[in-house]
Amino acid sequence: MITILDVVTFGETMVLMVPDEMGSLQYIYNYKKKIGGAESNFAIGLSRLGHKVGWFSKLGDDPHGRFIKAFIQGEGVDTSRVTFTGEAPTGIFFKERYAARESKIYYYRQGSAASTLSMDDVDEDYISQARFLHITGITPALSQTCLKTVMKTIDLAHEKGLRVSFDPNIRMKLWKTRRMKEVLIDIIAKADIVMPSVEEGELIFGTASPEKIAEDLLKLNTGIAVVKTGAAGCLVGTEEGMKRVQGFKVEQVVDPHGAGDGFAAGFISGLIDGLDAEQSAKRANAAGAFATGVMGDVEGLAYREELETYLSGKSAFYR
């Protein structure tokens, strides 16, 4: 008997190698092994908030792939539809850290197992017993088969009555600009909830105005447009109007990576719990801010109790 899921998501997760020291990777010898993948980050974020979520992908039949599946499963995410292949490797990427500027990322994902995803890897019954399908703009950029899989899975989700949430999560290294806009707009037109940052909105629509970005999203039949505005919070747009939702002050940002995935998890968590768009945005802002306090893509994602304490403005004491 399949467990009913709140959300199902899919996409590439890779092994992430984080150096122990700052500086050029040319002179770094020691690393910590972690995982990184927008969709699995999102899934783990939702799981920690108490929701039932499934994530699937295709991994290499190698130690890296087995490590990734075990890690995500260990976070309470259902990985029963993950498949392995001996024909392609698991992707890997390295983070280069500097004190004076943003981290630099080096990807080794071309020809990876996840880039061979097709509809043969999508279980229709598994999709149909969820309430939401969450996708990002990373998966359709990996390959033509991934693009087709994303588009067909969205159509399947709508046929089964799921709401579709979309985080553009633009990775310029994966796209040609013109093609990127065409694909992302096609996906936006099929999504019920869209959550770009201002920078992503500008790349897609040519404007840095959160209100104009939200307006353009709503014109494409998006039900809820959520434009992330960094430390300021976000702008929520629906057919009822637009509302700015204030962000949470972070005294020291340790690692901004994963904050956007935490934000998305917080927003969908709110909708699952029956909150309106504005209340869900407040939860999303808190989840995104909370995630920046720890090094790593998933390590800082909040558990339900932690997030509720953070939202209340109270301090938690542990003895």
- What residues are annotated to the active site? 261
CA 243 to chain CA mean position, Å:
23
Q: What's the CA gap between 271 and 274, in Å, rounded?
A: 5
